[in-house]
Amino acid sequence: MSMPKILVVDDSRTIRSIVERGLRDAGYRVITAADGLEAIELAQTEGPDLAVLDICMPFMDGYGFCDELKGFGEPLSNLPIIFLTSIESHALELLGSSLGAYLHKPVKVDELLQVVESVLGKVTGNQRGEPV
């Protein structure tokens, strides 16, 4: 079975690269986008299993991305989201928890991998986040 596909969305090329490398090294399939508009297109064409998403981006921010997904119906409307952002907000933490998870930048790759496995495990019902 193939590993889950993860969409990484961040306007920082450095952050995208670090997150992409860490996820690929862990065996995940990764697609990347620099903003919410590009991410919407990729979500529709690639069908990711999870999105790691920044909030503050040009063209369409993370909130806009989440709003757009709701309009597409299943399975995109239920895409788990891990917010990876420098914004500190209790409301954002709650929103992140309801959609998947919230992580504050900077984050260590091993911490991100643990959260990815946890969120995917909740979706698929297993511990490693591997497809059932």
CATH class of the domain defined by 5-123? alpha beta
pTM of the model: 0.88
The confidence band for 125, taking pLDDT boundaries of 50, 70 and 90, is: low
Cβ neighbours around 27 below 10 Å, total: 11
The length of the chain is: 132
The confidence band for 33, taking pLDDT boundaries of 50, 70 and 90, is: very high
The ranges assigned to domains in the chain are: 5-123
Which has more pLDDT, 86 or 129?
Answer: 86
Which has more pLDDT, 130 or 7?
Answer: 7
Give pLDDT, residue 1: 57
Residues 54, 85 contacting (CB under 8 angstroms): yes
Question: CB under 8 Å to 75, separation ≥6 — which residues?
Answer: 47
The mean predicted confidence, pLDDT, of the chain is 87
